[in-house]
Amino acid sequence: MLITDNADFSPPLIFECGQAFRFTPVSDGVYKGAAFGKVLTAASVPEGVLLDCSDDDFNGIWSGYFDMGRDYAAIRREIAVNGFMSEAVEFGRGIRILRQDFWETLCSFVISQCNNIPRIRGIIKRLCALCGEPAADGFHAFPDAVTVAALPVSELRAIGAGYRAEYILNAARAAAGGVFERLPDMPFDDAKRVLMSVGGVGGKVADCVLLYGLHKLDAFPVDVWIRRALDKYFPPDFDWRVFGGYAGIAQQYIFHYTRFLCKQKRRAAGE
């Protein structure tokens, strides 16, 4: 499947902006990973983006996963509310917010707490190998909440989860018990309160799950990069709610551009 209009579809930008952890680079511009029990390779090519999937899988899984029905060019114009945002949305052209499985997103961001991306990816990979169904090319599907809830805490610690093992079990038991079934239809604040009622799920993790796992695009997760950007590039009275229903998309552009500016500054300083 060849996506020829790639102005707002870049595998490196999508998979390196902190929203998903199961796709990794295999060569320049080429990423391979799994979602919804399927394995996919996404490659940037001169004609656009090449996805190694059938028409049926594209229409049934990947079109929705990559949010292909949304006009990101129009959104970029709408959220370019100042000079910094104009630069950020132009620099980040190609980012899309993935429509991920809710449980996988919740579990992944519980694992992400006080962690770095290589370790997050490693823990998730070992969890999938531990109890996920085999998929293609050596991948395993992400295990469902019922399966994870039945694991002893020692097995989760053995794959490197550390103190997060208890939090993973809390989330899995809540998901398996139906605690989150009504979240897609709940108002944002109510859904966030339900998520934060589970031990180990704080405000930032809840915002990430609402954005990446439930596609509530008014979520605005604030981590150290976003806080740094808000402090440095926006006026003191700036209210991120000006982005409205696209706050989560704006957050991704801010995150990506701020990291780039920081790296650029370090290079200039010879660090």
Positions marked catalytic: 204
Alpha helix positions (H), 55-208: 55-57, 63-65, 72-79, 83-91, 102-111, 117-131, 145-149, 153-158, 164-176, 188-196, 203-208
Rg of the chain in Å (alpha carbons): 19
Instruction: Give the closest residue to 48 by CA, choosing from 97, 100, 5, 15.
Output: 5
Sheet containing 2-3: order of strands? 2-3, 48-51, 38-45, 30-35, 24-27
Helix H or strand E encompassing 33: strand 30-35
Distances (CA, A) of 164 to 31, 158, 161, 233: 28, 12, 5, 34
How many angstroms separate the CA atoms of 216 and 184, rounded? 8
